[in-house]
Homo-oligomer: A and B are copies of this chain.
Amino acid sequence: MANAMHTKTELSELGEFGLIRHLTQNIVLKNESTLTGVGDDCAVLDFKNKKIVVTTDLLTEGVHFNLMYVPLKHLGYKAVTVNLSDVYAMNATPRQITVSIAVSAKMSVEAITELYSGIYLACERYGVDLIGGDTTSSLTGLLISVTAIGEADEEDLVYRNGAKDTDLLCVTGDLGGAYMGLQLLERENEVFKVNPKMAPQFAGYDYILERQLKPEARKDIPPLFKELGIKPTSMIDISDGLSSEILHLCTQSEVGCRLYEDRLLYDNQTKKMATELNINPLVAALNGGEDYELLFTLPVTDNEKIRNHPDISVIGYITDKSEGVNLITAGVGQAIPLQAQGWNPLKD
């Protein structure tokens, strides 16, 4: 399961500037707003009359990823897409990223090149330019810091604080898959540690593995909103789990919410893996995180415009703040206060 790297060039053979040249020499800038990219003290951008959005994420080895089972190319891809997801969550279009990495001196040039191949693949697929970064060493594991910059017309921007009483609570795609993919990877990694000759049992789980290892950001959603003639009153991406994100929206909008258990969508692989591991898929959706779907609210009058749309589920509605933030269970319809139990890197 480990990343097989057959050739190995020592980092010290290239040095910092040699490595930067090696990693950035083939960049072709795609966006009009990128005036100059890598190679000066700063990159230079021009967004004319657009508003600019900025977001940043830091991924550390052993905390956010395990190189025992995460291929470096996928890791590079994911480090980019999780940031772009935040840009789409503003209803904006990503244009540029900076990527800084700290690597152990033991890491080979080929391994770093593999990581960057994933970064460039994401740049290609999402139409963003890599415009800068920093490359240094760390005494221990790998660390990746990505900052994404995007643009939007002011009237299109969607914040977290605009949800109103009676708004529909909506989500794109299905939930819990990334978490179940992680459980599968961890199970097989444990098996591997005990018996390295045992082949991992991944058949039939390609979707949830991809959700975990190589998640996509919902690039399609902002244009879909335009096409459907709707604009969310609030929006956030699901990185820490549905509970945590709903609580963010409700806190910042000063509203309450009713979330219906029976409205949550799961992929069949998510359900199958959940059964196999004896985990309730609801827990994966609420607290698992990393689904990178978009959670948003819409005026109830927009209901017709999204009804039966395959990419959007209505999973609840916004209430007055005094009613609290509740999960309404399937069947008996009991109201249970939602609690943020999403992934907390400082509590682990």
Residues of A within 8 A of B (CB): 11-12, 14-17, 19, 35-36, 39-49, 51-64, 86-87, 89-90, 92, 96, 98, 100-103, 105, 131-141, 143, 145, 147-150, 154, 157, 159-161, 235-237, 252, 340, 344-348
Number of copies: 2
Residues of B within 8 A of A19 (CB): 346
Return the 4 tightest CB-CB contacts between A and B, nearest first: A42-B53, A145-B145, A41-B89, A58-B100
Q: Which residue of B lies closest to A343 (CB)?
A: B16
B16 touches A159 (CB 8 A): no
A348 in contact with B137 given A45-B52, A49-B48, A56-B145 (CB within 8 Å):
yes
Residues of B within 8 A of A54 (CB): 42-43, 45, 96, 98, 131-132, 147, 149
Q: Which residue of B lies closest to A102 (CB)?
A: B60
A14 touches B44 (CB 8 A): no
A90 touches B45 (CB 8 A): no
Q: Closest approach, in angstroms, between the C-beta of A76 and any C-beta of chain B?
A: 16
A15 in contact with B51 given A40-B159, A56-B134 (CB within 8 Å):
no
B134 touches A58 (CB 8 A): yes
Q: Closest approach, in angstroms, between the C-beta of A232 and any C-beta of chain B?
A: 12
A303 to B60 CA separation, bound complex (whole angstroms):
50
Q: Closest approach, in angstroms, between the C-beta of A207 and any C-beta of chain B?
A: 25
Q: Which of A43, A92, A150, A160 has its CB near the most chain B CB atoms (within 10 A)? A: A43
A53 touches B48 (CB 8 A): no
A347 to B132 CA separation, bound complex (whole angstroms):
21
Q: Closest approach, in angstroms, between the C-beta of A59 and any C-beta of chain B?
A: 8
